[in-house]
Amino acid sequence: MKNVLLILSFFCIIPIISGQELVKSPEAFGPLPTQKQLDWQEMESYAFVHFSLNTFTNKEWGYGDESPQLFNPTALDVRQWARVAKEAGLKGIILVAKHHDGFCLWPSAYTERSVKNSPWKKGKGDVVKELAAACKEYGLKLGLYLSPWDRNHPEYGKPAYITYFRNQLKELLTNYGDVFEMWFDGANGGDGYYGGANETRKINTLEYYNWDETYKLIYSIAPKTLVWGIGPSEARWIGNEEGYANETNWSLLRQKDELAGKVHYTEFMSGHENGEKWVPGETNVSIRPGWFYHAVEDDMVHSIDKMVDIYYQSIGRNSNLLLNLPPDKRGLINEHDVARLKEFSAIINADFKTELLVKTKVSADNIRGNDTKYAAKTVIDGDKNTYWATDDNVKTASITFEFDKPTPINRILLQEYIKLGQRVKAFTVEAKVDGQWKTIATETTIGYKRILRTNRVTASSLKVNITDSKACILISNIQAFNAPTFVRTPEVKRDKNGEVTIKSEEGNNIYYTLDGSNPSVKSLLYTEPFRYNKAVEIKAVAINKAENRSSSITRAKYGISKEKWKIVTASSGDLNTVNRTIDGNPNTDWSFGSDSNKLPQEIIIDMGVLLQIKGFTYVPQQVGNTLNLIANYEFYTSTDTINWTKQSEGEFSNIKNNPIEQLKFFAGVKARYLRFVAKSAVEKGQTVSIGEINVIE
């Protein structure tokens, strides 16, 4: 018997320990997650709460001179935040305890700029404390955001501020129980109040904060806290604020290069295959355009399509999701956001309602040492600690699931056993349909979790082929679902001349209205583009003919069309190019200014008629990595091009991280001519771009 075992062990790499056969466990490969990071990845999604003076001043970034007296919520109820988060399936809440304007939501002993000098609870309140208690009550974890940049502090930029910053960190990390994540935002240095200096202060983020020391402090008082953001962090920004990771997404990062300033932030969307540290991605995105609540955005809460895409493009692409739910002036998460969140979680729950592989017969073409411990069926046993493994030299392998009867499928979920490293570089999925294997997905990384949305196939078998891996393959979970058909909302576009185009997926009918009523099958059926140049709200719905399921309703509001709009002058550029700023298409742009033709630069537009307007919007260039963003602007109106009135000036706060349409409101005015001045560019550039200028009527 012993001889037989010895021969076997020679072929199967089975060492023999006191007469028992044991297959060698797979070895770890590459950088590994810590237990803290593993626990954090399992949280998957949590809420972000931006609520501060900005909520009351209607800003995205406060300058630092706003009075704490303005913080006066009428019905602040942090338990409502916790309830809403819990009901949506979120696992925690990260509260912005101090944003860039320096106002603190807790009564910090180190400043007067806090809730203690606000009318809320007569200065006796502490939002952080209340939220910590609410999180406990609802079984949620608490995280905190402390802005390193402080536009109020007189010593910002000097060593004294670092002491202040660390003192505040100590307060937050010792007085409120466990903090699962500490969030350090990257926006740093620029103009501000700074105790009345009203100046621009630039700092070198990596040097000024001495992150090594700051991190040491954090870990000495709060070892359970995971640190996100700048410095030698344990999790990384996903490189955009729109809510998506790249399909290829490594939880690894060349952090040394990053700390040496050699990594462009867009690389965060995919991580680095050859990164030397485990630094998984976190996708932070707001449920509406801004991070803070603005009543004008009640109509702009992300569509259900966008929300569902966010889910699949963050959690479904190996990233955590940090979803911002900004409370309104009352101190409550607004009804619009709550409604969308409910719709969103209902769809996600329905998508993953019934798992279909659990009852299949599973087999794999390679199983480590033929040991049942690493058998194919471990991927459907619901145990995250068991996994299908291949032999050490096997980096391509297939796992097959056979159904009792042909079964419709359109979602596939895969998880690697990441405790031993992220390995898979490429894989495909095949479905056996009517006796024929058909490739339904060709993909790259998996990581902690990857979810694929595929067209529905009715398969008698399903096969996952790992086609490339850094080391032997370790997969802990594979699932499949048949999510209800999701009918995407139709896309409505109107060009400069008022031509309306409505698009939807093939196989759908589109119905629309022009009178503000909700469309149904009894409304106008869209067959081809039509012209409508008056002010209008177009509402459209798509109906999937085969299943009679309808989409949500698209609402598109327009003023009178830009048919009569003309460029009067522009400080540089030829007219054809400048015209792109008013062509109704934000994806075509005009870039202007240069080292020889320095900012400020301006453009004058004739709307062709006198219009009552109450604001304007600026869409920057929409494609590329260097979007040439305007940082500071002035906006004037006139009825005759001779007398101009300045209606608005200031900054496009946070445009660098979130280069979306910027809305600026002013008191209503009658105007025919618009003058938009680009005063300065983000990152001291000299070139800026305009994708589109619109007015708000």
Q: How far is the CB of 237 from ligand FUL (least distance, A)?
A: 9
Among the listed ranges 27-35, 185-193, 218-226, 357-365, the one in contact with ligand FUL (CB under 6 A) is 185-193
CB-nearer residue toward ligand FUL: 284 or 637? 284
> At closest approach, how far in Å is the CB of 172 from ligand FUL?
16
Cis geometry, peptide bond prior to residue 148 (ω within 30 degrees of 0):
no
- CA separation for the pair 258, 213 (Å, rounded): 18
Output 230 or 348, the one with its CB closest to ligand FUL.
230
Gyration radius of the chain's alpha carbons: 28
Q: How far is the CB of 554 from ligand FUL (least distance, A)?
A: 28
Scanning 84-92, 135-143, 180-188, 529-537 for contacts with ligand FUL by CB under 6 A, the matching segment is 180-188
Cβ-based nearer residue to ligand FUL, 52 or 628: 52
Candidates 182-190, 242-250, 419-427, 679-687; binding stretch for ligand FUL (CB under 6 A): 182-190
272 secondary structure, DSSP code: -
| Size of site (CB under 6 A) for ligand FUL | 9
We find the least distance from the C-beta atom of residue 94 to ligand FUL, in angstroms, to be: 9
Q: What is the DSSP string of 79-141?
A: HHHHHHHHHTT--EEEEEEE-TT--BSS--TT-SSBGGGSSGGGGT--HHHHHHHHHHHHT-E
Which of 66, 185, 282, 692 forms a contact with ligand FUL (CB under 6 A)? 185
CA dist., res. 490 & res. 542, Å (int) = 6
Nearer to ligand FUL, 303 or 654 (CB): 654
Stretch near ligand FUL under the rule CB under 6 A, chosen from 111-119, 181-189, 217-225, 586-594: 181-189
In the complex, the smallest distance separating the C-beta of residue 586 from ligand FUL, rounded to whole angstroms, is 22
Shortest separation between residue 284's beta carbon and ligand FUL, angstroms: 5
Contact status: 556 vs ligand FUL (CB under 6 A): no
Query: Nearer to ligand FUL by C-beta: 152 or 415?
Result: 152
Q: How far is the CB of 183 from ligand FUL (least distance, A)?
A: 8
Taking the C-alpha atoms of residue 176 and residue 684, their distance in angstroms, rounded to an integer, is 40
Nearest CB to ligand FUL, comparing residues 113 and 449: 113
**Nearest Cα to 309, choosing from 113, 522, 489?**
489
Contact between residue 696 and residue 297 where contact means Cβ atoms under 8 Å apart: no
Select the residue whose beta carbon is closest to ligand FUL and give its number. 187
Please identify, using beta-carbon distances, which residue of 59 and 368 lies nearer to ligand FUL: 59
Binding range to ligand FUL, per CB under 6 A, among 183-191, 298-306, 350-358, 627-635: 183-191
334 lies in the site for ligand FUL, by CB under 6 A: no
Can you say how many angstroms the Cα of residue 409 is from the centroid of all Cα atoms in its chain? 27
Which two tokens mark 515? 């009178």
Please tell me whether residue 501 adopts helix, strand or coil conformation.
strand
Site for ligand FUL in 257-296 (CB under 6 A): 284, 291
Per rule CB under 6 A, is residue 187 in the interface with ligand FUL? Answer: yes
Tokens of 691: 């994708």
Widest pairwise Cα distance in the chain? 104
Q: How far is residue 252 from each of residues 319, 420, 474, 635, 666, measured CA to CA in Å?
A: 12, 13, 17, 45, 46
Per-residue exposure over 301-327, b if at least 16 CB sit within 10 Å of its own CB, e if not: bbbbbbbbbbbbbbbbbbbbbbbbbbb
Nearer to ligand FUL, 249 or 284 (CB): 284
CB of 51 to ligand FUL, least distance (A): 11
Residue 102 or 421: the one with the smaller Cβ distance to ligand FUL is 102
379: left (phi over 0), alpha (psi -120 to 50) or beta: alpha
Instruction: Write the binding mask 61 to 90 for ligand FUL: x where contact by CB under 6 A, - elsewhere.
Output: x-----------------------------
- Of 97 and 451, the one with the shorter C-beta distance to ligand FUL is 97
Looking at residue 392, its amino acid is: D
Place of tokens 């609402």: 555
Stretch that binds ligand FUL, among 179-187, 332-340, 579-587, 588-596 (CB under 6 A): 179-187
Sites for ligand FUL among residues 645-674 (CB under 6 A): 654, 657
Q: Where are the beta strands (DSSP E) in 508-623?
A: 508-513, 524-525, 530-531, 536-544, 549-550, 554-558, 566-570, 590-592, 601-619
Q: How far is the CB of 95 from ligand FUL (least distance, A)?
A: 12
Which range in 184-192, 261-269, 470-478, 518-526 contacts ligand FUL by CB under 6 A?
Answer: 184-192
| Spatial distance between the Cα atoms of 496 and 499, rounded to a whole number of angstroms | 7
Shortest spacing between CB 241 and ligand FUL, in angstroms? 7
| Residue 248 exposed, middle or buried by CB count within 10 Å (0-12, 13-18, 19+) | middle
The two three-digit tokens of residue 626, written as one number? 């260097």
Which CB atom, from 148 or from 271, has the smaller least distance to ligand FUL? 148
Q: Can you tell me which residue has the tokens 């607004």?
A: 334
- On the 0-12 / 13-18 / 19+ scale of CB atoms within 10 A, 235 is buried
Let me know if 27 is exposed, middle or buried by CB neighbors in 10 A (0-12, 13-18, 19+). Answer: exposed
Sites of contact with ligand FUL (CB under 6 A) = 60-61, 185-187, 284, 291, 654, 657
